[in-house]
Amino acid sequence: MSSAPPIGMETGTGTSAAGPSRAAAAGTKPAVEIAHLRKTYGTLTAVDDVSFSVAEGEIFGILGPNGAGKTTTVECAIGLRSPDAGSISLMGLDPTTQREEVHEIVGVQLQSGALPDKLKVREILDMYQSFYRAPADVAELTSVLGLTGKLGDYYKALSGGQRQRLSVALALIGNPKIAVLDEMTTGLDPQARRDTWELIKGIRDRGVTVVIVTHFMEEAERLCDRVALIDSGRLVALDTPARLAAQARGGKQVRFRASDHFGDWLLTDLPEVAAVRHDGQHVVVDGSGDLVNAVILKLAAAGITAHDVELGSQNLEDAFVKLTGRHSDTQGAVS
């Protein structure tokens, strides 16, 4: 798999070809440019020859299974680790030699970074604000993030979602040109997750380039202009979520509940059907051509009715499975 050319790479790593119209129209230098990045820990190669660039104003997703090298890539990009090879440029700055300048313009939210229990939200924000030359306004930032009523609360008293929003606030308090958010919605309930997505879009609308690291396919699909899919330290795909999904799976999918049990062979005998699998009470059939009709007719002939028939849309999860051979949410099976 690693020898095959990554999907979407034929359009080149340039942002103008594969990027959204917004990026193409801007025609400016990329906000993030990573070329041939390589990082090893002893004998383990965590990141191997990864290249991509992110246009200004883009929301860019870095996807991959756990242990794929996503976080290492990001840590190299923001100067927390020094790469063994390759070059990185953030708005023209090199994080290995210009750390301090890079940290002025790049706001970072790291995975699982807590804060002292006995500090109040206002005290934390005030302190982090003082670290930057041209910081954001605390009142405005907290109002955007829905934390205004929480300024006098101890960190200890905040809910998981509020802590997450505070963490995002700290990433944005320096008025960054680039925001890097690592697994920002992990551990949030679905509503808080959707709220965070809206927030990220709002940040981008203010002109901030956003790089998110995630293993939620839905998040990448809803939020990202483009995604880089990293597996075992290598870039395996780079494109828009829609195109990636389309290219990864040329076929169709139908999903239904059957009125009675039947042998998979009933459907796999059909020329239109490529694969049959069971997802709880549902049967999922992958295939091509006039798949839906063929399946329904065949079932009807066998006296079986298909309920709740859904035409599966080709999604990023399918691309992920196809490209990495793994499900994005089965973390136990990975690494």
Question: Residues interacting with other proteins, by CB under 8 A?
Answer: 78, 80, 100-101, 103-104, 106-108, 110, 112-116, 118-119, 123-124, 126-128, 130-133, 170, 174
Write down the least CB distance from residue 267 to other proteins, Å.
Answer: 50
In a 13 Å sphere around the CA of 325, the CA atoms on its Cβ side amount to: 8
Write down the least CB distance from residue 156 to other proteins, Å.
Answer: 10
Q: How many angstroms separate the CA atoms of 14 and 99, rounded?
A: 25
Write down the least CB distance from residue 120 to other proteins, Å.
Answer: 8
In the sheet with 85-90, reading across from the earlier edge strand, the strands are 44-54, 32-41, 85-90
Residue 119 or 192: the one with the smaller Cβ distance to other proteins is 119
Write down the least CB distance from residue 131 to other proteins, Å.
Answer: 5
Q: What are phi and psi of 56, to 5 degrees?
A: -60, 135
Write down the least CB distance from residue 60 to other proteins, Å.
Answer: 18
Write down the least CB distance from residue 100 to other proteins, Å.
Answer: 5
- One-character DSSP codes across 216-230: -HHHHHHH-SEEEEE
Residue 71 or 314: the one with the smaller Cβ distance to other proteins is 71
Residue 101 or 153: the one with the smaller Cβ distance to other proteins is 101
b/e map 41-56, b = 16+ CB within 10 Å? eeeebbbbebbbbbbb
Residue 4 or 114: the one with the smaller Cβ distance to other proteins is 114
b/e map 64-74, b = 16+ CB within 10 Å? bbebbbbbbbb
Query: In one letter, which amino acid is 89?
Result: S
Helix (H, G, I), strand (E, B) or coil at 152: coil
Residue 7 or 170: the one with the smaller Cβ distance to other proteins is 170
Closest CA to 187 of 206, 156, 165: 165
Residue 107 or 287: the one with the smaller Cβ distance to other proteins is 107
Parallel, antiparallel or unpaired: strands 85-90 and 106-109: unpaired
Contacts 24+ apart (CB under 8 A), 328-334: 328/63, 328/65, 328/215, 328/216, 328/217, 329/215, 331/65, 331/66, 331/215, 334/65, 334/66, 334/67, 334/68
